[in-house]
Structure 1
Amino acid sequence: MPYLTAQEVDSVFVRVYVQPRASRNAICGIHDGSLKVAITTPPVDGKANQAVIKFLAKTVATPKRDVALYSGKTSRRKVFLITGRTLEEIRGYIEPILKS
């Protein structure tokens, strides 16, 4: 998948396109090669970034401390680094959501 890139054995980059101020937190599909994530939080003082971290951690069943913003602090296009999970594990959590 274009939005997932394996970094090391248990580290994966996830390219995300963030839609802030949405009506609910959800994975909305693929947008321009990135995983489109809708977040209810407005993009003020990094709160939307923290909301995406919390949402991704819950989605892939990993602690928040294992999800970090790698690039795109003030952009809608961001890259998050998830450690402690393999590419296949993360794909296993996200693909069923995309297919539904």
Structure 2
Amino acid sequence: MSWYRYDSENNLILNLHVQPGAKNTITAGLHGDALKIKLAAAPLEGKANAALVRFLAKHFDVPIGQVILKQGEQSRRKVVVIQCPGYGPDVLFDELQD
């Protein structure tokens, strides 16, 4: 299984493994069948989830409202839907090559 797929409405669905409390918010590569993202936010009171949504909205060039956390609100494993993304999933790997 891939870490991303598109649904019938061309929305991007991401399988993520999130590590809160990191030094910086970055994409850290693949973690099994998920993409690992390190977040510079604590896993308290939804701060890590909010940081994840902002990070994804910025990278996919969409408003925050178009990034929907479908599963894993209190888990490291998350399923996120990006509605009508401005870029494909490879945009998350661009910073790995910098």
Instruction: Report the TM-score, using the length of structure 1 for normalisation.
Output: 0.87
Q: What residue identity is the alignment partner of 1:53? A: V
- 2-side partners of 1:73 and 1:91: how far apart? 21
What SS does the corresponding residue of 1:48 show, helix, strand or coil? helix
Aligned to 1:3: 3
How many residue pairs were aligned? 98
What's the TM-score once normalised by structure 2's chain length? 0.89
- Counterpart CA distance in 2 for 1:98 and 1:6 is 23
* Percent identical: 31
Q: Distance in 2 between matches of 1:82 and 1:95?
A: 16
- Gapped regions of structure 1 (runs ≥ 5): none
CA distance in 1: counterparts of 2:40 and 2:33, whole angstroms: 22
Taking the aligned partners of 2:47 and 2:93, their CA distance within structure 1 comes to 26
Q: CA RMSD in A?
A: 1.8
**Stretches of structure 2 lacking an aligned partner (at least 5 in a row):** none
Q: What CA distance in whole angstroms lies between the structure 2 residues aligned with 1:5 and 1:43?
A: 27
Residue 68 of structure 1 aligns to a residue in which SS?
strand
